[in-house]
Amino acid sequence: MVRVVDTEEVSPTESSVKYRVGLNKIKEIAGRTHFANDGDGYEKLFWSLFNDKFPNPETFWRYLLVPLTKRIIPGVKDPKERLRFREGVSEDLKDIATFQYCMFLNLIYSHDHLRNFRLSSFEDFYLHLGSACDLAEDCLLKLYMVSLECKGGKSKVLEKLTKEEFLNLAETWYKEHYSEVYENYLMKGKPPPIRLPKRQDVLREYFADSEEVKEYSRHTQKLREYRNILTHYVQIAKIVIKEDITLVPKKEKIQSYKKWSEVFKAQEDVARLKRDFIEMKEQMVSDIWTLEIILNKLWLKPIKDLRKFFYEDKNEVLLSKYNIELT
């Protein structure tokens, strides 16, 4: 049996407590809470990196993740204690908060390699950028599952597919990935796993196959391809023009330049260099800014959906996950 108490009576050490709190009180707390004044150390230090191109995760955090924490408990002043989850919060909401935070960290690491460029920064940049994409998808997919639960709905893609629907997914996989099977076998000694449906299929369903999710898929497919070659293949050959100018193959051309001999040939062909290569840091800056802008658009949907469930509908399923009773 869960005991219901008013927030004014709550001790931060109590467990199995369902919090009674006014909706206006939560709005008031969220309205004055920002990364800059009540985030953890990384959020306070690096929030400005995202203020221009990727501000929506902070909005999501303020209105939908802060209520998971002890920030809404009166009297909790210790900064380290305030950011901890309250007792009784559901695991899926904790996962969402964790995925978003770790995505945020990987983007910070990528920015750090741009600011403080060092020997392995090019390779490490794309490693962290790829991880940020993986974590963004984990977060969005978990948000979709929570949204479906709040509506009492089901994912068609994750339900039993008809033969025709399965074959359509298989045809798409064949067109997009079959050419990589032989190469993957040579590198790893085994073919890549065939996952049907893929995470991208579920994302397309969540976003109703919108232009935003298509744009995300196009950009991240190239990022991941580049990341995978940097991680699992020989080092990409670079062309050093002078001390502060280094050319690398463009993402769209990387399959043609995995062999160093092809890069050396391009070095002797000015037209080929202009067409297929780009200044290294220029590509890195473009890639992270483009990714953040695209992700910012995608984050609008979960903000809209969950704010409606929480603040307007007072959805019982969602409030139960927060372990909150609104007054």
pLDDT in tens, 105-119: 999 999 999 999 999
For 125-139, write each residue's pLDDT tens digit: 999 999 999 999 999
Residue 252 or residue 157, greater confidence: 252
Which residues make beta-bridge pairs with 240?
Answer: 246
Q: pTM, whole model, 2 decimals?
A: 0.86
Q: How far apart are CA 235 and CA 42, in angstroms?
A: 31
User: Could you state, in order of their start, the residue ranges of all structural domains in the chain?
Assistant: 3-155+163-326
For 73-99, write each residue's pLDDT tens digit: 999 999 999 999 999 999 999 999 999
